[in-house]
Structure formats: C-alpha cells, structure tokens
Structure 1
Amino acid sequence: MSIDQPRDERVSSTFAALFDNPTLDTAYAPYGIFLLRAAIGVDWIVHAFLKTWRGMNTHEALLAKNGITPLLAWPTFSLELIGGCAILLGWYTRQWTALLLVFLAVVVWVKWPVGWLYSNTGGGWEYPLFWLIAQAALMLAGSGAFALQATPGLKQTKH
C-alpha cells in the first residue's frame, strides 16, 4: 500500500465530502443559516436589554445627541427585543431582518464620522457594518433549520 492512499475509503470520502465545494450544500446549509440566525437574534435581544440595563435615559440622550427624537427610545427597544426573539425563533425571519437592517444602517451612519475601527473612541462603523452584512445575508438566505416558519422553496433534507 502506498503512503498517499488512504486505508479506509469511508473515512476518506466522508472527510472529502466536508470540504467539497458545491454551490449550495443543501444538506448542511440550513444548519449554518440556523447558527447565523441564532447569533443575530441573541445579539438583538442582548442589545435591547442593554438599553434598559444602562437606563433608558442614556439611550434617550444618545438618540438626542445624534439628532433623533428621544421619543423613539422605547419603540426602538421594543422592536429590537421583539425582532430579536422573532429572528431567533425563525418567525418571519426575512421581514424582521429587513426591518432591523434600517436600525443597523442608522448605526453605521451615526458611527461614520468616528472612523472605521470599532476600537476608536466612540466606536467606529466596522462592527455595525459587519452585523449589517451578516443580517443582509440572513435576509437573503431565509430562516434555515429549526425555524417556526420554514423558508418557502427550500427543501430541507433529513439525515
């Protein structure tokens, strides 16, 4: 037996299948989308509760400082919390991610003068832009696995 030949073809084919590069891996893609959906949903929920933890007056002041009416403090908290839960559960994922993309676009706009790096004083737009792009990808991909509402047109295979 040559050193470059595997001993067990089953192990070799399974390993090769993991690194095969199909356009869309219909077997594993729904699970990858689920992980993305869970991360984005949890991030929105934590972000919403952070507003109450710091005090809504802090959020109101931040909105006012950036030329946005402080009356939107509680509505933004509510939409972030409800939207985060909906995204996490996979309920109208595309619609909620589309709505919350507006929030992320505003954050990028507000952070723009600070500069690219999020480590800059005041936090730059690098990190919010990353979440905006990740959320846009989720909006395009749909809900993935374990969703309350399946994405139309995506046939999920059973393993």
Structure 2
Amino acid sequence: MQTTSSVAASASTRIAGHDIATLLLRLALGTMFIAHGLTKLLVWTLAGTGEFFASIGLPAWMAWPITGLELVGGALLILGVRVRWVALILAAELIGASMPHLANGWMFTAPDGGWEYPVFLAVTALALSLLDDGRLTLSRLVQQR
C-alpha cells in the first residue's frame, strides 16, 4: 500500500501531456530562433543584416543584439532555462519583426513577405510565456540534484 507521501512524490515527478507539449513548443521555437540567428550571422552576415535593418528604418547596429538575442534565447528555450521570461522577450522581438511585413499582406510568400509567419511565431512565443516551464527542463534537472 502506498503512503500519502509516496503518492504525492509519484504525482510530482510524473511527466504529463502538458510537459511534453511545453517541451515541443520550446524545441520548435528554440530551433527556429537559432536558425534565424545563424542565418543573420553566417548567410547575410551582421553587416548585411545591419544594412537590411537600416533599409527599413532601424539602426544598423541593432543587427548585433537581435542576432545575439535569437541565438542565446533559442538555446535557453531548448535547454529550458527561464522559459517564461525568455519566451516573453522573444515574443516582443517577433512583434517588432512583424512590423515591416504588415503592409505586405497576410501570406509570408507575398513579395517582401507577409505577416502570417512572424505573427504566428509571436503568438506561439507568447503562449509559451504563459505556461509554466514544464518538468522537462535543465532548470528542473538542476533543482532535483
């Protein structure tokens, strides 16, 4: 017969669908952010990204912190470190990234890209920021030791 404390301990360590869903959201968003950060860094280069930013009215120097935010933020999401705060910050970045696309229409396949993709990602990051981190995180693993 299980004692009350062993039942509580078992329930507190059980992985639920919520934990798996949160993990999948973290992995998908984190991978997307790292891919976009690496594209800015390795394909377009920081100078080229800065030129693009300047062409849409942003300071060119913003290429550096935005690229860093995407790379570090993506890694933190994947690892499960400060997920709620990181996702909230990245949602704000994605709302900003949506602005140049608003006049281009809905579909991201439109000339110069529509706003469907960045807005979808912003909403997804915002949803992740409203969830708890789930049990499948580096933070939880460190806490358990």
In structure 1, the residue matched to 2:25 is 36
2:32 is the alignment partner of 1:49: no
Instruction: Look up the equivalent residue of 2:61 and give its one-letter code.
Output: L
Instruction: Look up the equivalent residue of 2:18 and give its one-letter code.
Output: A
Q: 1:69-84 residue pairs with structure 2 within 5 A?
A: 69-84=59-74
How far does residue 27 in structure 1 lie from its aligned partner after superposition? 2.3
3-state SS, counterpart of residue 66 of structure 2: helix
Q: Which has the larger radius of gyration?
A: 1
Give the alignment partner of residue 109 of structure 1, picking from 99, 117, 122: 99
Instruction: Look up the equivalent residue of 1:44 and give its one-letter code.
Output: F
RMSD between superposed Cα atoms in Å: 1.3
Instruction: Look up the equivalent residue of 2:85 and give its one-letter code.
Output: Q
Cα deviation digits, residues 50-78 of structure 1 (max 9, x gap): 00122222211111011110011111111
Distance in 1 separating the partners of 2:56 and 2:45: 18
How far does residue 141 in structure 1 lie from its aligned partner after superposition? 0.9
4+ aligned runs moved over 4 Å, structure 1: none
> Number of residue pairs matched?
125
Distance in 1 separating the partners of 2:71 and 2:86: 11
2:126 is the alignment partner of 1:136: yes
Instruction: Look up the equivalent residue of 1:62 and give its one-letter code.
Output: F
Percent identity, aligned pairs only, is: 30
Task: Considering fraction of residues, name the structure with more helix.
Answer: 2
Instruction: Look up the equivalent residue of 2:27 and give its one-letter code.
Output: A
Q: 1:17-28 residue pairs with structure 2 within 5 A?
A: 27-28=16-17
Cα deviation digits, residues 59-112 of structure 1 (max 9, x gap): 111110111100111111111111110111000011111111121011111110
Contact kept, 8 Å, 2:73 with 2:86, in 1: the verdict is: yes
- The runs of 5 or more residues in structure 2 that have no matched partner are 1-14, 141-145
In structure 2, the residue matched to 1:13 is none
How far does residue 144 in structure 1 lie from its aligned partner after superposition? 2.0
The TM-score, its normalising length taken from structure 2, stands at 0.81
Distance in 2 separating the partners of 1:27 and 1:74: 39
The TM-score, its normalising length taken from structure 1, stands at 0.75
- The runs of 5 or more residues in structure 1 that have no matched partner are 1-25, 151-159
How far does residue 129 in structure 1 lie from its aligned partner after superposition? 0.9
Greater shift after overlay, 51-60 or 85-94? 51-60
2:117 is the alignment partner of 1:127: yes
